[in-house]
Homo-oligomer: A and B are copies of this chain.
Amino acid sequence: MTLRFEVLARDGRARKGRLSTPRGSFTTPCFMPVGTRAAVRTLDTADLEALKPPVVLANAYHLMMRPGPGLVEQMGGIHGFTGWSGHVLTDSGGYQVFSLDPKVDDHGAVFRSAYDGSTHRLTAEGVVDVQLQLGADIQMALDVCPPSDAPEAVLRLAVDRTAAWAARARRRFLEAGGPDAGASQFGIVQGGIDPALRVRSAARTTEVGFDGYAVGGLSVGESTLQMMEALEATVCCLPESRPRYFMGLGDPVGLVECVALGVDMFDCVLPTRLARHGTALTWEGRLNIANAPFAADDRPVDPHFPDSPIARYPRAYIRHLFNVDEPSAARLLTLHNVAWLLALMGSVQDAIADGVLDRLRHRVAEAWNRPVAQSQRPGS
């Protein structure tokens, strides 16, 4: 395997790990900011170099549509195109394509581009090729993403197709020289909120033998309890020796709770989207900078986070920039929110190493004003 994963410390089911690829290594649990179209919205590569995220996401579907994988390949892959020399993980774009109401059969999905209405076909093999062209360090197999409220038959078919596509994707990845190119590939577990289906999907996906395993189709509208049960059923069936990636989760309470169940990697547009809407992540919970009390507030956005890249600015100034529609407001809060989540994950890693993750879970839950879930740790 191109990707090595070493568990450095454990606290209950939570683990602190080190993930290594030919590009370098980073510690987990980690949060990966999302740069859908080869840029984290409002930021540039120099900003990312200052923030130092372990991995940046990009989206194969969006880059297939604009500017096209051939162009990105010609420019030296996504690393040459953007100048980012850290890890890049590309999502297959399955999630986006399934939101476009595609025609799906065993072969793949046919969909109309949201950019210009043109027709495209997504297959397990094609998505591997595109992600190799993009030069992703970690690529995701194409999965079937049914709506969260789909009937059981639809969920079962999705699990079966996801498994069949996973096998095809892995074969193509190995035949096309993915490992020689330094790339790794993750499979995705589906199954909705049905623990039994989750177990089945996890078994069939791990059977294929990927570098890592992702949990898809959660955090899409189900209750927290449903989500945690489905996640727990999934994680139990994933190998200890491989990284586990929860796709699309980014709220602070959710992050620490899922870490406690044994998840190693997360991505989400939440911190960047919230920022663009004027909401900052802080140790006092969500802070809406547009609120009147901040008009003359000379404190930084989060006084408990002195390392924030925008700690120099008073809340009053950021609020003013928002109120007069200065684009820099969204960028400054994006810098803050991404830095805040990266710092949180650093604290999570330290807490696991020190065996005090429970204390951090309570602190996060308290700050975010939500009840702590029943402890998911056996024996705690």
Contact = CB atoms under 8 A, between A and B. Distances in A.
A320 B80 CA distance: 14
Contact of A66 (B41, B324, B327, B331): B324
Interface residues of A, number: 37
B326 A327 contact: no
Nearest to A50: B46
Nearest to A83: B312
Contact of A67 (B66, B81, B320): B320
A66 B320 contact: yes
A42 B327 contact: yes
B38 A317 contact: yes
A12 B188 CA distance: 73
Interface in A38-59: 38-39, 41-46
A71 interface: yes
Given A66-B320, A67-B295, A327-B327, A314 B81 contact: yes
A293 to B, nearest CB: 13
Interface in A173-187: none
Contacts of A83: 312-313, 317
A323 B44 contact: no
A43 B328 contact: yes
Q: Which of A74, A314, A328 has the most CB of B within 10 A?
A: A328
B317 A82 contact: yes
Contacts of A312: 45-46, 83
B75 A41 contact: no
A316 interface: yes
A331 B43 CA distance: 9
B314 A75 contact: yes
A74 B296 CA distance: 8
Contacts of A41: 326-328
A50 to B, nearest CB: 10
A326 B45 CA distance: 13
A215 interface: no
A18 interface: no
A251 interface: no
B328 A42 contact: yes
A317 B39 CA distance: 10
A292 to B, nearest CB: 12
A167 interface: no
A345 interface: no
A295 B37 contact: no
A77 to B, nearest CB: 12
Contacts of A328: 39, 41-44, 331
A15 to B, nearest CB: 35
Interface in A65-120: 66-67, 71, 74-75, 81-83
Contacts of A62: 324
15 contacts: A37-B324, A41-B328, A42-B331, A44-B313, A44-B328, A44-B331, A44-B332, A62-B324, A66-B320, A67-B320, A71-B295, A75-B298, A75-B314, A82-B317, A83-B317
Q: Which 7 A-B pairs have the closest CB atoms?
A: A37-B324, A67-B320, A44-B328, A39-B326, A42-B327, A66-B324, A83-B312
Given A42-B327, A67-B319, 5 more contacts: A41-B327, A44-B331, A75-B316, A81-B317, A83-B313
